[in-house]
Amino acid sequence: MTKIRIATTSLAGCFGCHTSFLDMDERLVELLEHVEFDRSPLNDIKHCGPCDIGLVEGGLCNADNVHVLREFRANCRVLVAVGACAINGGIPAMRNHFGLGACLEESYLNGIGVEDPQIPDDAELPLLLDKVHPIHEVVRVDYYLPGCPPSPEGFLSVLGDLLEGREPMLPKKLLHYD
């Protein structure tokens, strides 16, 4: 039986959406009869190859996020924005109320508990974007799975529809925007 290939990533997110995905517990065993994983924090594969479905948690806060997202869009037939941070920027986008310089100063120079104040500038650190962006502002998104995080049942509903070749249609009881 050919399995559906899924890639997942967490950009500017907290991994809470991935944790909720794993909260499907024993239902994951049944799901694995139908799917296999490409790039994902679940298996630590670092690059996305050709896939059927890409699940993207988190918005875009730095240049590396943009690079990973573009790699997902180029390789995934269907791209799903998972959770509030991917859909509208979520909690990381709260920094958009302030300038990037003010955020860095508060975090690394003047904030409570800061010791040895200095703003990190290692060349390997990805360049921060001025604002945090939802992923649809950079690539085309096919479907949205709202929630903070979406419930395991939400993941199963969307993946079940896609596995059956249907348009994902979340039942009203699974549709929430917390």
Report CA-CA distances (Å) from 15 to 9, 20, 67, 88, 132. Answer: 9, 9, 19, 16, 17
Q: Is 174 in the site for ligand SF4 (CB under 6 A)?
A: no
Segment lying near ligand SF4 (by CB under 6 A), choices 31-39, 80-88, 132-140, 155-163: 80-88
Return the residue of 6, 7, 8, 13 that touches ligand SF4, per CB under 6 A: 13
Kindly give, in sequence order, each residue whose CB lies less than 8 Å from that of residue 121, ignoring residues fewer than 6 positions away: none
Between residues 51 and 89, which has the closer beta carbon with respect to ligand SF4?
A: 89
Q: Report d(CA 81, CA 83) in Å as an integer.
A: 7
Q: Is 149 in the site for ligand SF4 (CB under 6 A)?
A: yes
Query: Could you give the dihedral angle defined by the CA atoms of residues 38, 39, 43 and 44, in that order, rounded to the nearest 10 degrees?
Result: 150
Report CA-CA distances (Å) from 16 to 10, 46, 122, 151. Answer: 9, 19, 28, 10
Q: Is 48 in the site for ligand SF4 (CB under 6 A)?
A: no
Between residues 54 and 83, which has the closer beta carbon with respect to ligand SF4?
A: 83
Q: Is 85 in the site for ligand SF4 (CB under 6 A)?
A: yes
Q: Is 134 in the site for ligand SF4 (CB under 6 A)?
A: no
Q: Is 135 in the site for ligand SF4 (CB under 6 A)?
A: no
Q: Is 154 in the site for ligand SF4 (CB under 6 A)?
A: no
Nearest distance from C-beta of residue 58 to ligand SF4, angstroms: 5
Q: Which two tokens stand for residue 26?
A: 């024993």
Q: Is 17 in the site for ligand SF4 (CB under 6 A)?
A: yes
Kindly give, in sequence order, each residue whose CB lies less than 8 Å from that of residue 101, ignoring residues fewer than 6 positions away: none
Supply the DSSP symbol for 40: B
Query: Footprint of ligand SF4 on this chain (CB under 6 A)?
Result: 13-14, 16-17, 57-58, 83-85, 90-91, 148-149
